[in-house]
Structure 1
Amino acid sequence: MTPTPVGMRCPECAKQRTKVHTSRSLAGTAEPLVTYAIIAICAIAFLAGGQFGVSESSTSTWLYRNGVLFGPLVHDGELWRLVTGGFLHSGLLHIGFNMLLLYWLGTEIERRLGSFRFGLVYLTALLGGSLGALVQTTATPTVGASGAVFGLMGYALVEMRRQGVNPLQSQIGFLLIFNVVLSLRPGANISFGGHLGGLLFGALAAVVLHEAARRRGPAWLGPALLVGLSAIAVVGAILMAGQTGITDSGNVTR
């Protein structure tokens, strides 16, 4: 027998080394290519608009007119706006804050999920945010990745809770509370409905992926459930877009 830090072991066992996992190794090794691609698309779209105001940019650009989320136009069949609105931003502060949060949350979550599943989670949250924005109002145009970013927060909150971590004692919990308070301040042109919709669908995405894994279903089950959630968000958004409201294209919520 050979003495070791964990007690007496036979010579063969003493030569074995147990691999130690750190938080970094458990986070996965996949490169967050989807996160980088989303940030790049948002940056290119912002630069292509040619409007670089700090707090708010012009709403007269071609990209804005053809990509903004606007209920009456969605009702007329321009369904791509449910997605493209999430890649447009109003002002440097708007895009800067969203991209910072996207980088921080997206890189970690994508490394855990892999690029394909992360892309589906992000799309689900984005469409959920579009639904929430239209529930709040169909009369005001909406832009920004905030709904999808809130969806990543919702995903992270569910995962942390599942692992026994109190989200309110984490940086994510602080960011969520801070953004909710910011969204509710008087006079803020912020789509609280979009934030809440993204948060809800991001959390649901975490639940369905966990349930699919827990039940040991086929590999396609989790992605299929995410596609189902996305379809529900699209159908709900189409129904809400048909609601009448006073057209006010002069303002924009973010």
Structure 2
Amino acid sequence: MPPRSTPNAPSTSRALGRFLSPVVLLAVMWLIQILDAILPGSFSGFGLRSWDLEGLGGIVLGPLLHANWAHLIANSVPFLVLGCLVAVEGTRRFWAVTAIAAIIGGLGTWLVNAPGTLTVGASGLVFGYFGYVVLRVFVRGRVAHRILYAVIALIVISVYGGSMFAGVFGAAEGVSWQGHLFGAIGGGIAAFIGRSRRPDREVRAP
């Protein structure tokens, strides 16, 4: 009987492909920071400027910009780790969570911050991914999935919970606790948006 081909290789490539989105997004941030260091002037002016209608474009651009290299480096590892934990559910899910966290985090920051305050950095997305990973365990789904998500959430809380709490309630001067708080709220809301009501539906990559 001739051997049959198996879909293991395509399945593996498809699974690894889910993590491409957060890697690419982080690479864009690094490229922008490199260009910002080389070119005259500063890109930070394109960030989110509170109470300025023209500054609303910072909802999109602000997360890609950073004040300096230390700012970008501090955000890179948690962004990649938490972003990949979101992306494991699929490319569309990752971008949906990213968009919701950016919009809600950006609008909340724009409204609550003092007028004229300029906010840049991916930490709002980092907090959004954290909120998503922690709260998705409460979304209806297969029992096995919910148990796995609960284990992941506990690990994430044990590793990042302290810094996340401090980033909202003990943020240093010049650090936007508003962006952190509303980013986390956006990520939490994203956990419940677009979910099937059928508890036995399997999550698949696009």
> Which of these residues, 128, 135, 141, is aligned with residue 118 of structure 2?
141
User: In the superposition, relative to structure 1, how do residues 136 and 180 fare at CA in structure 2: closer, same or farther (>3 Å)?
Assistant: farther
Contact persistence 1:68–1:81 (CA under 8 A) = yes
Which residue of the partner structure matches residue 101 of structure 2? 125
**Shift in Å at residue 68 of structure 1?**
1.2
Q: What secondary structure sits across from 1:214 in the alignment?
A: coil
- Partner deviation per Cα, 1:150-171 (whole Å, 9 max, x = no partner): 1111110012355252777423
Aligned length: 179
Partner of 2:177: 192
Cα distance, 1:90 vs structure 2: 1.5
Query: Equivalent of 1:63, from 35, 43, 46?
Result: 43
Q: TM-score, normalising length from structure 1?
A: 0.61
Q: Separation in 1 of the partners of 2:76 and 2:61? A: 16
Q: Could you tell me the TM-score, scaled by structure 2's length?
A: 0.74
Instruction: Tell me the percent identity.
Output: 24
**How much does 1:110 deviate?**
1.0
Q: Which residue of 2 aligns with 1:203?
A: 188
> Is contact 2:168–2:178 with CA below 8 Å preserved after alignment?
no
Give the number of the structure whose residues are more often helix, by fraction: 2
Cα distance in 2 for residues equivalent to 1:78 and 1:90:
17
For residues 118 and 201 of structure 1, the distance between their equivalents in structure 2, rounded to whole angstroms, comes to: 13
Match of 2:193, SS? helix
Residue matched to 1:98: 75
Distance 1:87 1:63 in 2: 10
The match for 1:171 is: 156
- Contact preservation (8 Å) 2:72, 2:121: yes
Q: CA deviation at 1:148?
A: 1.1
What do the CA deviations read for 1:108-128 (whole angstroms, capped 9, x no partner)? 32122x212211211111112
Larger Cα-atom Rg: 1
Counterpart for residue 214 of structure 1? 198
Structure 1: distance between partners of 2:65 and 2:55: 16
Supply the AA of the counterpart residue of 2:198: R
> Shift in Å at residue 30 of structure 1?
3.5
Q: 1:82: Cα distance to partner?
A: 1.4
Taking the aligned partners of 1:186 and 1:177, their CA distance within structure 2 comes to 12
CA distance in 1, matches of 2:41, 2:185: 32
SS in 1 for 2:28: helix
Q: CA deviation at 1:146?
A: 0.8
* DSSP 3-state at the match of 2:48: coil
Cα deviation for residue 175 of structure 1 reads: 0.9
CA contact (8 A) 1:146 1:194 kept: yes
Matched, 1:39 2:15: no
Contact 1:161 1:167 in 2 (8 A): no
Distance change >3 Å, CA 199–CA 131, structure 1 → 2: same
> Is the CA contact 1:69–1:141 (under 8 Å) kept in the aligned structure 2?
yes
1:167–1:33 CA distance, 2 compared to 1 (3 A): closer
Cα RMSD for the two superposed structures: 2.9
Could you list the per-position Cα deviations for residues 185-227 of structure 1 after superposition, in whole angstroms to 9, with x for gaps in the alignment? 37421111111111111111111233x353899xxxxxxxxxx
Residue identity opposite 1:69 in structure 2: L
CA contact (8 A) 1:133 1:194 kept: yes
C-alpha distance 139-80 of structure 1, shift in aligned 2 (>3 A): closer
